[in-house]
Amino acid sequence: MKVIITGATGFVGEGVLLECLQNKSITEVLLINRRHYDLQHPKLKEIIVVDFFS
């Protein structure tokens, strides 16, 4: 299963991210954030979108 998370730098988003990384049935996690999330993991990919309105 693949998961997309927006706002992983927030309190709730970070909790969801950490649970997804530990879950063996999730193969890939894509973060869509305004700023870089300082974590490296084999499952983790990241896209930075500075302005969600553009």
Q: Residue 48: which of 39, 29, 37 has the closest Cα?
A: 37
pLDDT tens digit sequence for 15-45: 999 999 999 999 999 999 988 999 999 999 9
pLDDT of residue 23: 97
Q: Locate the domains of the chain by residue range.
A: 2-43
Residue 4 pLDDT exceeds 80: yes
3-state secondary structure of 54: coil
Sequential DSSP letters for 19-48: HHHH-TT--EEEEEESS------TTEEEEE
- Rounded to whole angstroms, the Cα distance separating 22 from 41 reads 10
